[in-house]
Chains A and B, each alone.
Chain A
Amino acid sequence: AQKVTQAQTEISVVEKEDVTLDCVYETRDTTYYLFWYKQPPSGELVFLIRRNSFDEQNEISGRYSWNFQKSTSSFNFTITASQVVDSAVYFCAFTGTSYDKVIFGPGTSLSVIP
């Protein structure tokens, strides 16, 4: 069965701290895709990144970075020098070739305190 786990329900950090949001997935597929979305307090869902299972290179985009490790079935997201505007709920999502839907994790609510 396909499953996405975000074990951290809520995280609170002080501005400028680094924070890592965990995402663990379960699948028997060899080809699959992983996503991260951000949902700020305003409610919209903002796409952050898409990664396929054959590309294990870590990715960095400004203060955001993603660590994909197939060996541990994890796709963790790190925010460096967090800012108040990073406060949001972050969703990790997964889709595989044997299941034609995107499965969203339960989300991690991040609060960055000034």
Chain B
Amino acid sequence: DAGVIQSPRHEVTEMGQEVTLRCKPISGHNSLFWYRQTMMRGLELLIYFNNNVPIDDSGMPEDRFSAKMPNASFSTLKIQPSEPRDSAVYFCASSLGGVRTTQETQYFGPGTRLLVL
């Protein structure tokens, strides 16, 4: 398997622009997670899906952030409008899920490095 695939790997944009990050989970995995990593706050869970349904979005910073999972093989994280403080590495991870989704091992994608100027 190719592992979790994320695109783009790098994104530089200007403040106010819309940014869309994409993720393809490992085939057969039914849980998908979006994380943000910064020096100040470390790794933060933004949102996660189980069977394409958002389960917990309490980590989403504010209304400017939205995430969708239209099918089992694709998810997007959108920031509109973007701000400089959104600059971070955004990771997508997937897992097999189960009774307790987060107890399964999460496999991470390579991340998207976002820089908002």
Contacts and interface: CB of A to CB of B under 8 A. Distances in A.
A and B together in one complex: yes
B107 to A, nearest CB: 6
Nearest to A50: B105
A41 to B, nearest CB: 13
Contacts of A95: 100, 102-103
Interface in A1-59: 33, 35, 37, 43-47, 50, 52
A97 interface: yes
B43 A43 contact: no
Interface in B88-117: 89, 91, 93, 100-103, 105-111, 113
B77 interface: no
Contacts, number: 43
Contacts of B18: none
Contacts of A44: 108-111
B105 A47 contact: yes
Interface residues of B, number: 21
Range of interface residues on A (Cβ < 8 Å): 10 to 19
Nearest to A33: B103
Given A43-B89, A106-B42, A35 B105 contact: yes
Contacts of B105: 35, 47, 50
A104 B59 CA distance: 14
B15 interface: no
Nearest to A48: B105
B14 interface: no
B117 to A, nearest CB: 21
Contacts of A97: 100
B19 interface: no
A102 B45 contact: yes
Interface of A: 33, 35, 37, 43-47, 50, 52, 91, 95, 97, 100-102, 104, 106-107
